Amino acid sequence: MQRITIDLVSDVVCPWCYLGKARLDLAIAEVQDAVSIDINWRPYRLNPDYPPEGVDQQVELAKKLGGKENMDRGHQQLTDLGREVGIAFDFDAIKIGPNTLDAHRLIHWAGTESREIQEAVVSALFKANFEEGRNVGDHAVLLEIAEAAGLESKVIKTLLAGDADKDLILDEIDAAQKMGVNGVPFFIIDQKYAVSGAQPSDVLANAFREIAAEKASEQSKLN
């Protein structure tokens, strides 16, 4: 079985990233008998200028999207697409637009434990923000998610209270932007192929099969 590694650049307040994750999960399930896929979650911030306490989400997003009508239209489209893959988007419930730096620190710390714990944290952050309207910039929310995923809450509380790994996260985002990542989700497959946007699951599954076949062909030439 061929193994593929995906570095997935995303932000937990990006609805297309949540949609992209759900579609990715379906694609992975589709090819699981032929291809093994490891995911490394990489940081990106859609709103780096938001203060630590966050902003009024409804007001700021309407400004960003050119008015409430445009925002509502976009939300309806995403709600319909989300329903197809089991996401119950509740955009009206999102009151605070958070600064996601601390959420990305938590994802990083989860990744130092295992990919499984990192996956659990990422899933919980997306769900908390988009389905439950919880503030994922709030340390209490982050601690609850960390503990539920199996992380040591006392350790995470201490880390969140300080500046641990802030520079590392910001440097990763800077490196991604210098590589040309200016929108998310962005998939970097085996450090060799790039796929941008929330692609349909069948498109991703076909890409994984083709990449796995190419790897198998390259390996057979070496033997």
What's the pLDDT tens digit per position in 2-50?
999 999 999 999 999 999 999 999 999 999 999 999 999 999 999 999 9
Residue 196: what are its φ and ψ, rounded to 5°?
-110, 140
Domain boundaries, the chain: 2-201
Closest CA to 21 of 9, 33, 31: 9
The model carries a pTM of: 0.96
What's the pLDDT tens digit per position in 79-110?
999 999 999 999 999 999 999 999 999 999 99
CB burial string 185-199: b at 16+ within 10 A, e below: bbbbbeeeeebeebb
**Integer-rounded Cα radius of gyration of the chain:** 18
CATH number of 2-201: 3.40.30.10
pLDDT higher than threshold 90 for residue 131: yes
What's the pLDDT tens digit per position in 178-205?
999 999 999 999 999 999 999 999 999 9
- Tokens representing 179 are 């590589």
Cα–Cα distance for residue pair 208/153, rounded to 1 Å: 37
**pLDDT band at 112; cut points 50, 70, 90:** very high
